[in-house]
Amino acid sequence: MPTLPWTVPNTPPPHIDVHVFASRFETRTLWGALRFLLRTPGVWRQVSRAPGAYGAALKAEPLRRTFWTLSAWESEKALGEFARTGPHGPTARGLAAQMRGAEFAGWTAKSEDLPVDWTEVRRRLS
């Protein structure tokens, strides 16, 4: 599962501002990377049903122990609800000890500009 392509759970209305969120995680060990991969399907299912989710993608580089996420939301509040509930909350807390580092970025984009290019994601996270 090196990449989960951009998936659109809820089609955003045209010409609106959306909240884009990106993250980069690096695990301490390959075991941590495997744990991240094993927990991904549950969180991915949660995204596919999340209210206010306009899209999500994951780029995994497990042998480098690095994972990139990208998502777009109706609002920061919708993202916050997702992050605190369902599988995401316990998964994030359960993997915290496995993390070597994490970076996050959030910004506003137009709905017609989705999905954001991975080059832009990397730029914003560096």
Are 113 and 55 in contact, with CB atoms under 8 Å apart? no
Strand order through the sheet with 53-61: 3-7, 53-61, 66-73, 17-27, 99-110
d(CA 86, CA 80): 12
Residue the block writes with tokens 């991969």: 37
pLDDT single digits (tens) 45-78? 999 999 999 999 999 999 999 999 999 999 999 9
pLDDT for position 63 = 95
pLDDT for position 26 = 97
Q: Can you give the pTM of this predicted structure?
A: 0.93
What residue ranges define each of the domains in the chain, with the CATH number in brackets? Answer: 3-125 (3.30.70.100)
